[in-house]
Amino acid sequence: MNILETKGLTKVYGGVVANADVDFTLRRGQITALIGPNGAGKSTFVGMVSGRIPATRGQVFFEGRDISALPAHKRIQLGMAYTFQITSVFRGLSVYENVALAAGRTLSADPEALDRRITAVLERVGIKDRSRQIAGDLSYGHQRILEIAMGLAQDPELFILDEPTQGLAESEVADFINLIRTLAGETTILLIEHNMKVVMEAADYITVLDQGMLLAEGTPAEIHANAAVQAAYLGTAVDA
């Protein structure tokens, strides 16, 4: 069953087409990677899906409901969570407080349940021992992990991760892949990612955008073997 679907999703900026008539489906419970060369329209597309960018035309359906007219905060309330390319943690607050702000959207009236949720999420992502540390004092990699914890604290039906491994060390990337794989089946993940090691090892399914349009879809093996994808994007990147 599909949790998300777009029909004819298009964005035009002053005559420049960022996305053109994108028909896209996201199967519930899968980890789907969205890839493509720089300027392919990936961030614009997920911006329209999340409600942060208004579409020029087209529709977005979530859980079978047309949400095209809903603003971003309403989509969050329906079960979408989104992490940005650049970390958006509250640097002056502790790790615990950051996650509390995210989880409090649904559990603010129940302090005990809120504390249980925060503790469980921090333990899940491996930073429970840093709960009292100020977020701004964390390494960049741990800030990225904290941002994932903030998304998970919302108990999302759909979790959109935009370039989550950008700036991470190789060992941190390996930890990220392991973490994402443990989430498979618990939530649906849309992963926008340039690191092909992450894509090939973490994703169940891959969608490729090129020049704002859908180029190909398939399993990692199918995308690896796709001549059009190789020509447009991958080259030798998969084997690097």
Per-residue pLDDT of 93-113, as tens digits, reads: 999 999 998 887 666 667 888
Q: Which DSSP symbol is given to 237?
A: G
pLDDT at 240 over 70: no
Q: What is the reported pLDDT for 170?
A: 87
> What Rg do the C-alpha atoms of the chain give, in angstroms?
18
d(CA 205, CA 219): 5
Q: What is the reported pLDDT for 235?
A: 61
pLDDT at 75 over 80: yes
pLDDT at 1 over 90: no
pLDDT at 194 over 90: no
Burial class (CB in 10 A: 0-12, 13-18, 19+), 141: middle
Q: Among the residues of 55-94, which ranges form H helices?
A: 72-78
pLDDT at 238 over 50: no
Q: Average model confidence (pLDDT) for the chain?
A: 89
Q: What is the reported pLDDT for 33?
A: 96
Report residue 69's pLDDT band, with 50, 70 and 90 as the boundaries.
Answer: very high
| CA-to-CA dists, residue 78 to 27, 31, 40, 66, 67, angstroms | 17, 19, 28, 12, 10
pLDDT tens figures, 37-67: 888 999 899 999 999 999 999 999 999 999 9
Q: What is the reported pLDDT for 91?
A: 92
Q: Mapping DSSP to helix (H, G, I), strand (E, B) and coil, where does residue 229 land? A: helix
d(CA 121, CA 144): 14
Q: 31-35, 68-72, 103-107, 203-207: which range is least confident on average?
A: 103-107
Closest CA to 11 of 47, 56, 73: 56
Q: What is the reported pLDDT for 109?
A: 66
Q: What is the reported pLDDT for 103?
A: 84
Q: Which DSSP symbol is given to 232?
A: I
140-152 and 170-183 helices, crossing angle to 10°? 10
Report residue 234's pLDDT band, with 50, 70 and 90 as the boundaries.
Answer: low
pLDDT at 237 over 60: no
How many CB atoms are located within 10 Å of the residue 203 CB? 25
Report residue 5's pLDDT band, with 50, 70 and 90 as the boundaries.
Answer: very high
Q: What is the reported pLDDT for 56?
A: 97
pLDDT tens figures, 119-157: 999 998 889 999 999 999 998 888 988 999 998 988 899
The residue-averaged pLDDT of 183-203 equals 91
Q: What is the reported pLDDT for 171?
A: 87
Structure tokens, 60 = 């977005």
